[in-house]
């Protein structure tokens, strides 16, 4: 079914966190999560399977840091294609055929010039390479997540749109006096307007925010563009307890706020850092 039509017919349930779940399941310390697609595929599969069983209509591949630029920091840029394709295959094999596979693309981890060393042309090429690998692997759509620089998000979006697949573009914001803004000072309304006009099927917000603050962010996004929203809050604010990052939000409290997200315009609801299959099950029951 056409993704845009599907969004009109039902509210889709996304998945929850990947990184914090991999850590919980025993991911080796100091190993980038994406490399687990090759080194520990069984625990990546377990994460995807758990979300599908909990009710996710869409799972996101374990490829958030899989551009050659970001992988190059760990001296494995030459494995970019292999890691991305493995990530897609793991997800595809772990969930039923009716669950959508969204190829995950995150920021490169460097600031664009003039604020940092990254050349826009090289960045777009890196995104294009990852898109090609994800598409070859067989994803149903692409998702750009946790972007804090609208200029970088546009480079990723342009590369993703060349695939012909639907593209979700999600930014990460902080609530400040006067609205919601990225780290680089991009307002939520400007992000929504720019990304939707450039061709994103869905725009939204993930990470950094708790579910209590997401409706306010959604309101700002809706000022910029009347397109379907994806909202993926964290499981509360993280705290360091005995050297571990702990999230204190409960699935029950999270689910109680789901109607607020729907009222704010969400057509895809999932979770980010600290959420797990219990949260997805609670979202499903709330919807």
Prior bond of 51 cis (ω within 30°): no
| Averaged pLDDT, 258-280 | 97
Give the chain's domain count.
1
| pLDDT tens digits, one per residue of 191-221 | 999 999 999 999 999 999 999 999 999 999 9
* Whether residue 246 has pLDDT greater than 90: no
- Structure tokens given for 129: 């390479």
Listed residue (28, 30, 50, 49) closest to 39, CA to CA = 28
Q: What is the pLDDT of residue 91?
A: 98
* Angle, vertex CA 183, rays to CA 280 and CA 160, nearest 5: 65
What is the span of the domain harbouring residue 252?
Answer: 3-286
Average pLDDT, the chain: 96
Give this prediction's pTM.
0.97
Helices 188-198 and 214-224, interaxial angle, to 10°? 50
- Structure tokens given for 12: 């889709």
* Whether residue 29 has pLDDT greater than 90: no
Q: What is the pLDDT of residue 45?
A: 98
The residues near 259 (Cβ < 8 Å, ≥ 6 apart) are 286
| pLDDT tens digits, one per residue of 41-85 | 999 999 999 999 999 999 999 999 999 999 999 999 999 999 999
Residue 70, domain CATH: 3.20.20.330
């Amino acid at each position: 079914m056409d993704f845009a039509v599907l969004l009109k017919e039902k509210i889709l349930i996304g998945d929850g966190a990947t990184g914090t779940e991999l850590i919980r399941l025993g991911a080796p310390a100091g190993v980038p999560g994406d490399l687990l697609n090759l080194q520990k595929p069984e625990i990546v599969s377990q994460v995807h399977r758990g979300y599908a069983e909990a009710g996710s209509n869409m799972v996101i591949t374990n490829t958030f840091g899989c551009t050659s630029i970001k992988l190059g920091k760990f001296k494995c840029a030459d494995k970019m294609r292999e890691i991305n394709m493995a990530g897609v295959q793991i997800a595809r094999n772990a969930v039923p055929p009716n669950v959508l596979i969204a190829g995950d693309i995150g920021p490169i981890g460097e600031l664009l010039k003039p604020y940092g060393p990254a050349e826009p042309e090289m960045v777009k090429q890196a995104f294009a390479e990852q898109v090609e690998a994800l598409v070859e692997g067989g994803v149903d759509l692409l998702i750009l997540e946790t972007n804090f620089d609208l200029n970088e998000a546009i480079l990723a979006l342009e590369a993703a749109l060349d695939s012909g697949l639907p593209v979700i573009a999600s930014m990460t914001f902080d609530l400040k006096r006067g609205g919601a803004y990225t780290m680089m000072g991009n307002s939520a309304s400007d992000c929504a307007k720019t990304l939707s006009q450039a061709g994103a099927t869905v725009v939204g917000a993930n990470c950094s925010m708790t579910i209590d603050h997401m409706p306010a962010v959604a309101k700002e996004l809706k000022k910029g563009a009347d397109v379907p929203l994806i909202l993926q809050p964290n499981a509360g604010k993280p705290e360091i307890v005995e050297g571990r990052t702990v999230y204190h939000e409960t699935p029950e409290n999270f689910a109680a706020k789901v109607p607020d997200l729907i009222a704010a315009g969400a057509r895809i609801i999932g979770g980010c850092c600290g959420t797990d299959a219990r949260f997805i099950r609670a979202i499903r029951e709330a919807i």
